[in-house]
Structure 1
């Protein structure tokens, strides 16, 4: 009887170690992977990002709607469209209307006297309170500015139009500090 209880003890220890290892490994999940499409070629940048997540009642699933963005350095243009299946009779089209922004105007750039613009572009995420839309961030690195854009679709009857809204621009350049030898203006007491 003694030899039988000695055999159970190692089996019980192995079982407990296995359970503890399984519990520990199940709580160490890798971070979820999120990626957005984007590429650069010469003086053009392409990116994609969601603009809306709707719920499909028939299939009981969430369906994201994506925008396709193209930024062209030479023309200083940003164009966007929302690809989706549009059928009229026997004809199928996937590209909707294109919306366009003039980046030279949006960033208030002077191409005659200012530096040559250099743009970077990416989509981001603002969390769960945005109905699934991803902002488009456009950076102009020669002047140190960033702009935030949003794509919207509007349907009027059978016509679908795309709008590319500029939500905000901001300078990334810090304000210059007064020189060390310069006298500071005294502040009145409060």
Structure 2
């Protein structure tokens, strides 16, 4: 569970960082957080869900949050930083937060494919997330958030919960299908162009 806030924390901005439950490590994002936190420690209270990534050297780090604890952390957060998981992004928006999104990069061993990058870039282009694909982009977004947290607030649409859950389920199914297809052995291309030739009643 996230640690209890003391009086000093009460005056600080609440920042939630969540990397989800994927088994791939996401050291890059936590390295960026550690570096940034060295300059901003007096300004923020952190809750960091680091999953299967090594624990970062910052306060408020926990491997996983229960569903209830995550909902409470989202509800209380002024700023939300997360990976490019569709469920996390939509949950943050449902709680009235424009998430600062750093998608996992399969080229760095952070995921099995590039679906987070594609999804986050599409939402970024639509203004539905603050997309950060570099260390400097993340620092710039956090600087804006510290100066004016309202820049990362969106209207929380409680009536859209069912539609959002359906959208998350649909995206999850698409991703599962892509991953399953990628893991299946593929038939050699030349096999698709060859057909058995019958000679004397036998296939050759």
Common topology (TM > 0.5): no
Q: Which structure has the larger Rg over C-alpha atoms?
A: 1
By percentage of residues, which structure has more strand? 1
Indicate the structure whose relative CO is greater, using CA pairs within 8 Å and at least 6 residues apart.
2
Q: TM-score, normalised by structure 2?
A: 0.22
By percentage of residues, which structure has more helix? 2
Q: TM-score, normalised by structure 1?
A: 0.23
